[in-house]
Amino acid sequence: MKLQQMLICNNKEDEVIFSSPDFVARKANLVLAFGEREVLESSLPFKELKKLYSEAQIVICSTSGQISNANLVENNIVSTAIEFEKSTIKIAEIDLIKNSNIQELGLIVKKELFSEDLKSVLVISEGSFVNGTELVNELGKQTNHSIPVFGGLAGDNVQFLKTIVGLNEDASEGKVVIIGFYGNEINFGFGCEGGWSDFGPEREVTLSEKNVLYKIGDRFALDIYKEYLGKYANDLPGSALYFPLSMRENKDSCPVVRTILSIDEKAKSMTFAGNIPQGSFIRLMKGNFDKLIDASYNAASESFSNHPKEPELALIVSCVGRKIVLGNRVEEEFEAVKEVSGNTLLCGFYSYGEISPIKNHKSCELHNQTMAIFTIREN
pLDDT at res. 365: 84
218: left (phi over 0), alpha (psi -120 to 50) or beta: alpha
The answer to whether residues 132 and 278 belong to one domain is no
The answer to whether residues 214 and 114 belong to one domain is no
The answer to whether residues 182 and 325 belong to one domain is yes
The answer to whether residues 237 and 100 belong to one domain is no
Torsion sign (Cα): 118, 119, 125, 131: positive
pLDDT at res. 362: 56
Of 285, 308, 333, the position where a domain reaches its end is 285
The answer to whether residues 181 and 248 belong to one domain is no
Residue pair 373/316 in contact by the 8 Å Cβ criterion: yes
The answer to whether residues 169 and 257 belong to one domain is no
Give pTM, 2 decimals. 0.91
DSSP state of 287: -
The answer to whether residues 189 and 201 belong to one domain is no
Of 252, 285, 318, the position where a domain reaches its end is 285
Strand partners, 3: 82
Shortest CA distance to 129 belongs to which of 80, 174, 78?
Answer: 174
Angstrom distance (rounded) from CA 244 to CA 233? 13
pLDDT digits (tens, 9 = 90+) for 105-156: 889 989 999 998 999 999 999 998 888 888 999 998 888 888 999 999 999 9
Shortest CA distance to 138 belongs to which of 190, 182, 178, 88?
Answer: 178
C-beta atoms surrounding 129 within 10 Å = 12
Structural domains in the chain (count): 2
Domain that holds residue 340: 2-193+291-378
The answer to whether residues 75 and 223 belong to one domain is no
| Contact residues for 296 (Cβ-Cβ < 8 A; gap 6+) | 193, 195, 318, 333, 334, 336, 337, 371
The answer to whether residues 169 and 272 belong to one domain is no
pLDDT at res. 159: 81
Query: Residue 21: phi, psi to the nearest 5?
Result: -55, 135
Residue pair 245/272 in contact by the 8 Å Cβ criterion: yes
Mean of pLDDT over the chain: 92
pLDDT at res. 102: 87
The answer to whether residues 19 and 89 belong to one domain is yes
Shortest CA distance to 210 belongs to which of 99, 104, 133, 100?
Answer: 133
DSSP state of 335: H
Residue pair 283/245 in contact by the 8 Å Cβ criterion: yes
Sheet-wide strand order for 175-182: 88-95, 175-182, 118-125, 149-153, 353-357, 364-367
Angstrom distance (rounded) from CA 59 to CA 118? 20
Angstrom distance (rounded) from CA 283 to CA 3? 43
Tell the burial category of 120 from Cβ atoms under 10 Å away from its Cβ (0-12, 13-18, 19+). buried
pLDDT at res. 272: 87
Of 285, 304, 321, the position where a domain reaches its end is 285
pLDDT at res. 144: 83
Residue pair 128/293 in contact by the 8 Å Cβ criterion: no
Strand partners, 354: 152, 367
Q: Give the SS3 label for residue 68.
A: coil
204-210 long-range contacts, CB within 8 A, separation 24+: 204/279, 204/280, 204/281, 205/276, 205/277, 205/278, 205/279, 205/280, 205/281, 205/282, 206/278, 207/278, 208/276, 208/277, 208/278, 208/280, 210/131, 210/133, 210/275
pLDDT at res. 363: 63
The answer to whether residues 259 and 116 belong to one domain is no
Strand partners, 286: 197
* Residues of the chain with confidence (pLDDT) below 50: none
Shortest CA distance to 96 belongs to which of 149, 135, 138?
Answer: 135
The answer to whether residues 139 and 267 belong to one domain is no
Residue pair 352/273 in contact by the 8 Å Cβ criterion: yes
Give the CA dihedral 225, 229, 234, 236, nearest 10 degrees.
Answer: -60
Angstrom distance (rounded) from CA 243 to CA 196? 9
